[in-house]
Copies of this chain bind each other. A is one copy, B any other.
Amino acid sequence: MWPWARTMSSDLPFTDCPVPIVETGEILMGHGSGGKLSGQLIERIILPAFRNPALEPLADQATLSINGCRHAFTTDSHVVTPIFFRGGHIGELAVNGTVNDLAVGGARPLFLSLAFILEEGLALEELKRVVESAGQAARRAGVQIVTGDTKVVGRGSGDKVFINTAGIGLLAPGVELSSQRVRPGDTVLLSGTIGDHGVAILSKREGLEFEGQIESDTAPLHDLALSLIDAFPDIHAMRDPTRGGLAAVLVEIATRRGVGMAVDETAIPVRDTVRGACEILGLDPLLVANEGKLVAFVPPEGAESVLEAMRRHPLGRDAARIGHVTDRHPGFVILRTPIGGERILDLPFGEALPRIC
């Protein structure tokens, strides 16, 4: 899905550090990062051309009303490299990614399309593994792949396999999850550890081995998401922190909704192996993509029951309360650091980890 459009760094109130040059006449890797350049591209080029009420919220999924039925509709292209990594395949990632974009909107995922762009010379054996793992992921998520497409491009015009998935889900009456409902007082819950997916991809790509094997967390979240709605139907919003990581979700909502967020960095679960790898690689786990986690914004009276429901679910065992939404410092996410200080959480302009999903 399109990440939320974001304001530019000039909105930062108390900095006069030099900022990177972002005016460019061509596409940079950073335009695909889920960071500020992505937001700029969407705000300046894409939104003006397509503007309509269903697109405008730039949510993970569009909500459509057709003949009285309420549907969620979403799409994502997957260009991850390598296509096989510890804990998953590009095929599985593509299915789960679209299932999750529907799930965090509160929809029950039903149908997917699946379109391949293949590079000439790809081994059929590799394609077969990808296709089979996509089929398994669909069965696991209870969705049907009902339509698709295959295109082939010459060597050097693609990179093995790109997969686009689009998905349709059904919204139950009364379910109204939207980042627009997030408000001061909401508790911020996170369903588990962060950074696993991005670090798994990067370590495979760079040929690094870390002790304790870091695996992608790719998983379908619809069952977890629906169980949270069952536990407390008035959850305000859910998001899955993929490209741009947990930071992107928090900063986007703070910026767009004009609310502040106070987050306790020590409360954010990160595996020791992932933390160690991030230190070696110079990455902030908060900025690293996840593929099987969700963040929920819940009114305080529902927070405990949603947290309990998360922890009861196999995909939410490590769930934690990580902070709250506040009317102080509107537009900014303030992290309380492990040494007791505070820092503003901001997004990079460009690309820390290209082609992570």
Contacts and interface: CB of A to CB of B under 8 A. Distances in A.
A255 interface: no
A147 B62 contact: yes
Contacts of A79: 117, 151, 153, 157
Nearest to A161: B27
Interface string A114-126: 1111111111110
Contacts of A67: 69, 170
Please give the count of copies of this chain that the complex contains: 2
Contact of A46 (B113, B150, B157, B354): B150
Contacts of A116: 77
B66 A146 contact: no
Contacts of A351: 152
A339 interface: no
Secondary structure at the A interface, as helix, strand, loop or mixed, is: mixed
A38 B150 contact: yes
Contacts of A117: 77, 79, 117, 162
A248 interface: no
B152 A74 contact: no
A71 B32 CA distance: 32
Interface in A92-128: 110-111, 113-125, 127-128
B150 A32 contact: yes
Contact of A29 (B32, B50, B120, B123): B120
B115 A75 contact: yes
A28 B2 CA distance: 32
A57 to B, nearest CB: 10
